[in-house]
Amino acid sequence: MERLCHHCGHAIGPVERVGRRDACLQCGADLHCCLNCSFFAPAAQNQCREPSAERQVDKTVGNFCDFFAFRVGGPVKATGSADARSRLDALFRKKN
C-alpha cells in the first residue's frame, strides 16, 4: 500500500514527514490535511479518531495538527447526505 493524494489519487511516494505547506505534485492539493490523515473518520466526533486533536473545519486544507499521520492506502470517502438518503429510500421502497 502506498500514500495517495486525497484529491487526485496520485502516489506521493516514500516521504518521512509532510509539512503544512506541502502539496501534491500532480494536482496541487494540500497534503497535510484531515482527508490524508490516518485518524480521519467521517463517523467520529469532529470526524477525527484522535480525541485530543483540535477541530478542523475544512478537511481539505493544510493545518497545524500535531497528530497528523499520513494515511496508507486510498482516502476515506465521507458519505454525503444525498448518498445516505438514496440508501434509505432503497431500504424502505415499497415492493409491488
Per-residue pLDDT tens digits for 6-26: 999 999 988 788 999 999 999
Per-residue pLDDT tens digits for 23-54: 999 999 999 999 999 999 999 999 999 999 99
Indicate the burial class of 57 (C-beta count within 10 angstroms; 0-12, 13-18, 19 or more). Answer: exposed
Of 59, 8, 62, give the one whose Cα is nearest residue 31.
Answer: 62
DSSP, res 81: H
Between 90 and 29, the more confident residue is 29
**Whole-model pTM?**
0.75
pLDDT reading at 79 higher than 90: no
Q: Where are the domains of the chain?
A: 1-96
66 vs 77: CA distance, rounded Å? 23
